[in-house]
Amino acid sequence: MIDGLVSGRLYGTAQVRTGQHGTHFVTCRVRATAGDGESLFINVIAFDDIAKEALQALDDGDSVSLAGALTPKVWTDKQGIAKPALDMVVHAVLSAYHVQQKRRTVRGQPDIDVDQDDVLGDV
């Protein structure tokens, strides 16, 4: 097992699914840029309640960092070219929203539910 940290952007939205025994889990895909500049897709699954909630709160295109167990994979595109991919079982999620919350906590400021209109102001 490889324990890794991956950063990228959510591709689509997270989906809640139900397992055979009635347990809920969340799946999604993250698009990350590899060292050579090519995109790499990470197939994500989360069983931890906090990680599931964090992924569900994100929208398509949101930046996210994930920590968890990685499994390298290979898939073949329509032209028959082999491409790398990763499967990841996530145990921690960090996004820009979480960073803001952690900063407020460190500074001793109360958690504030920020309305999107308050952030953007009058447009």
Whats the size of the chain, residue-wise?
Answer: 123
Tally Cβ neighbours within 10 Å of residue 13: 14
The two structure tokens encoding residue 32: 């990350």
Question: Which numeric CATH code is attached to 2-110?
Answer: 2.40.50.140
107 band by pLDDT with thresholds 50, 70 and 90 = confident
CA 97 to chain centre: 12
What are the domain boundaries of the chain? Answer: 2-110
User: Cα–Cα–Cα angle for 104, 108, 110, nearest 5°?
Assistant: 65
The two structure tokens encoding residue 117: 């209109």
Model confidence pLDDT, tens digit, residues 32-54? 998 888 889 999 999 999 999 99
For 37-67, give the DSSP string: S-EEEEEEEE-SHHHHHHHHT--TT-EEEEE
Mean pLDDT confidence for 7-14:
95
